[in-house]
Structure 1
Amino acid sequence: MGTVWLIIAVAAVGVAAGAAAGLALGHATRDVHGNGMIAGSTLERDGLIPVLAALSSTVVLLDDDGEVLRAAAAAYTYNIVRDDEVSEPQVAQMVERVRATGQAEEAEITVARGRVAGAGNFHLQVRVAAIGRGRLLVLVEDRTAARRVEQMRRDFVVNASHELKTPVGAISLLAETVRENAEDPELVADYAGRMSRESRRLELLVGDIIELSRLQDGDALVEPEDVNLDDVVVDALDRVRVEAEAKEVALVSGGTENLHVLGDAALLVTAVSNLLDNAIRYSDPRTRVSVGLSVDAEDPELVRIAVVDQGIGIAKEAQERVFERFYRVDKARSRMTGGTGLGLSIVKHVAADHGGTVELWSAPGRGSTFTLLLPRHRTEADLPGPAPEAVEAVASGAAGASFAAIAAISEDPAARRQGPPSGMSRTGQEDRQ
């Protein structure tokens, strides 16, 4: 009798184990990250995996309950999929309509690049279709680059041709004058210097147009790298140090160390160096230009790179336009300083390309603060932040407060004693680009 009960008990345990294994296998057919299937899944038996892998589009495959069976990594980058379900409302609505009608649907949608307001958008072509057994296939084509190229072409035709003609025309007239007055050495020397300045201006303009073109075609978030912002600041300061010394402008840096973002280090260096160059260009001798790193006071998942100057400041009505391509507040001053009108536009593009934005605080007579606001990438090497008062001052966006915070963390004792000036000797508006 005991033997019979033993056999029954063993059989019961076997049935339970088999059921548990079956359930485990059923759940295991879905990749926990939503971007692949394991061997033996129903998709593999149906022969769908090779077909989906052959598609050039970003693929999202949904089951009859709307859960994600398979999703390409880019679907997460585009913020379409999160936690094994469709998270983008526009795509979710398309899925519901296709499930209700059985008719395929296609649309071009715009989705935010990240959580930072004003960080830019992805432009996506989305097609949703039923493929049987209650499954739906979502195909996504990224049209962002095409949109950028189209926009750049329009801007180039409207603006760049005129901007290029100005220095070229000036050089031509100056050369003609020199040729007609070759016997006058003073005039020749004067006009040769003017031609040199116009050539330099043309060189800078062409360089900025090429840089802006490169930004239009690229995307820092497609294959991002871990970027230490300390290295970005060091490289950016090295780029502008000669110009700062020539103008007797002191460079100060500080803030929270070891902050990281995901993106393109070279582009970030370009953006920060453009802000520094802009600040130096419109600062008086024996003043300071400061750059500080901090964690955003309201959102610890965001970082700030603030560039502070002690210049004349920008009028309120001009602040809304300084990031436009070729916009200049004062064209005459721009010709004198060699500004191209593209520097801040490049900064804005780099910020948007990294899922961030750029902010401006400025007041006439009190200087300006340009701040890159970027999503933070946490690493195991993250260090404790600075004193709360320093973070709050840098994150506030006020030029005076930002300068005080950066001066407070500088190793230069004089920097700790010197506050922002109450006013500058210049009058009028500056071309901030």
Structure 2
Amino acid sequence: MNSDLIVRILAGIPLPAIAVGPLDRLLQVNEAALGLLGEGLVGRHLALAIRNPALLKAVAEVQAGGAVQEVRCVLSREAREETYLVTVSGLGDQTVLCVFRDVSEEERAGQMRRDFVANVSHELRTPLTALMGFIETLRYAAKDDPVARERFLQIMEQEAGRMNRLVQDLLHLSRVEAEERVRPRERVELVGIIAGVVDTLAPLAEASGARIVMAGEAAVELAGDGDQLTQVFTNLIENAVKYGGAGEVRVTVGFEDTIRGRAVRVEVADEGEGIDAVHIPRLTERFYRVDSHRSREKGGTGLGLAIVKHIVSRHRGWLRVESVVGEGSRFSVVLPLG
């Protein structure tokens, strides 16, 4: 095929594209392919430019008159791997056109969906298995045992409550993700929202032997979603009460200057066991738990901090976590005032 024609064909393709000729030599590449594969490609053997046996095989088969093929190809770029689907088609005269389509984000999203489904299934399987076992026991072995029946019904209620909390958190997470790119416009008074959360959680704190103390600014107004901000501070303060042990949970409201201008900072600090530094980067992942058994015992679903992260992101803010093992943890929400 005429070299100028090949150049014009490649120039008209917005994706990385290369033309491979006889003996698997690269005849031409477009600008996008240079950015993907590097300079000095023309004239090189395909195997030296891209180490992928499946692609070499597809090129050979198409050169021999085979049909169009699509090959998955993983390339290492800037210390990370990217996945491409390469469409291999013939141009005649043993010349083959290879067009690269980046599917890395699609594959990552697909993996996230698979992990999410697997995690939800796992979270639901345990209480469902327990419920089924207790139902069978109540129908037969414990049918005429009122003491056992009452104990089993109590456990079944706990397991049903656990499933209900999980479903509610999944619904919350879904709504938050759907609204994440829509910035709130309503003006809310933040300190009043936090004070309401503290009042609501006071009985839980008392039952846990903890004490919630508020300090700092008396009033802060900003653009925000009142219901979602209530959920953020409910999750953070409730976690501090549940996992901070008997002691003081301190909620401090203050201001700080950031690269985005003036912002309000709300710190929730506890005096608990603290969190090992290895866990901190993953705390906001869905279903990630530092201590799975303890979290489930406390009624946690593993979604609370993921919900917090998305709500804070919607408000154009960020979440900071600091912790020292044996001394406690501090979760800080920073929200721009502008």
TM over 0.5: yes
Q: Which residue of 1 aligns with 2:299?
A: 338
Contact 1:221 1:263 in 2 (8 A): no
Q: Which residue of 2 aligns with 1:304?
A: 265
**1:185-204 alignment, distance < 5 Å:** 185-204=146-165
1:298-354, Cα deviation, whole Å (9 max, x unpaired): 666121111111111111111111111011111111221111101111111111111
Distance 2:209 2:181 in 1: 35
Pair 1:160 & 2:120 matched: yes
Pair 1:174 & 2:148 matched: no
Q: Which of residues 190, 204, 208 in structure 2 aligns to 1:247? A: 208
User: Residue type of the partner of 1:176?
Assistant: E
Check 1:151–1:265 CA distance in 2 against 1; reply closer, same or farther (3 A cut). Answer: farther
**1:44-123 alignment, distance < 5 Å:** none
Q: Which residue of 1 aligns with 2:97?
A: none
Q: TM-score when scaled to structure 1?
A: 0.50
Distance 2:264 2:228 in 1: 16
1:216 Cα deviation after fit: 1.2
SS of 2:278's partner is helix
**1:318-337 alignment, distance < 5 Å:** 318-337=279-298
Contact 1:152 1:213 in 2 (8 A): no
Q: Which of residues 217, 220, 227 in structure 2 aligns to 1:259? A: 220
Distance 2:307 2:281 in 1: 16
1:263 Cα deviation after fit: 2.0
1:355 Cα deviation after fit: 0.6
**1:216-235 alignment, distance < 5 Å:** 216-219=177-180, 221-235=182-196
Q: Which residue of 1 aligns with 2:328?
A: 367
1:269 Cα deviation after fit: 0.8
Distance 1:335 1:183 in 2: 31
Distance 2:191 2:293 in 1: 36
User: Residue type of the partner of 1:201?
Assistant: R
1:373-396, Cα deviation, whole Å (9 max, x unpaired): 11114xxxxxxxxxxxxxxxxxxx
Distance 1:277 1:242 in 2: 11
Q: Which residue of 2 aligns with 1:29?
A: none
Contact 1:334 1:340 in 2 (8 A): yes
Q: Which residue of 1 aligns with 2:308?
A: 347
Q: Which residue of 2 aligns with 1:215?
A: 176
Q: Which residue of 2 aligns with 1:294?
A: 254
More off after superposition, 225-234 vs 273-282 = 225-234
Unmatched tracts of structure 2, length 5 or more: 1-108
SS of 1:301's partner is strand
Contact 1:315 1:363 in 2 (8 A): yes
* Percentage of identical aligned residues: 38
1:257 Cα deviation after fit: 2.6
User: Residue type of the partner of 1:308?
Assistant: A
User: Residue type of the partner of 1:216?
Assistant: E
Report which structure shows greater RCO (CA 8 Å, sep ≥6): 1
SS of 2:201's partner is helix
Higher strand share: 2
Check 1:241–1:150 CA distance in 2 against 1; reply closer, same or farther (3 A cut). Answer: farther
Contact 1:283 1:311 in 2 (8 A): yes
Q: Which residue of 2 aligns with 1:314?
A: 275
1:169-222, Cα deviation, whole Å (9 max, x unpaired): 221112222322223333223222211211111111111111101101114744
Distance 1:220 1:231 in 2: 25
1:295 Cα deviation after fit: 0.6
Distance 1:332 1:219 in 2: 31
User: Residue type of the partner of 1:264?
Assistant: D
Contact 2:180 2:313 in 1 (8 A): no
SS of 1:328's partner is coil
Q: TM-score when scaled to structure 2?
A: 0.63
Distance 1:238 1:176 in 2: 42
SS of 1:254's partner is strand
1:223 Cα deviation after fit: 4.6
Contact 1:229 1:259 in 2 (8 A): yes
RMSD: 2.3
User: Residue type of the partner of 1:164?
Assistant: L
Distance 2:155 2:302 in 1: 20
**1:19-30 alignment, distance < 5 Å:** none
1:231-284, Cα deviation, whole Å (9 max, x unpaired): 221222133222112223211111123222212111111001100111111132
Distance 2:148 2:189 in 1: 52
Distance 1:237 1:244 in 2: 9
Moved over 3 A (4+): 149-156, 219-223, 297-300
SS of 1:200's partner is helix
User: Residue type of the partner of 1:342?
Assistant: L
The number of aligned residues is 229
SS of 1:164's partner is helix
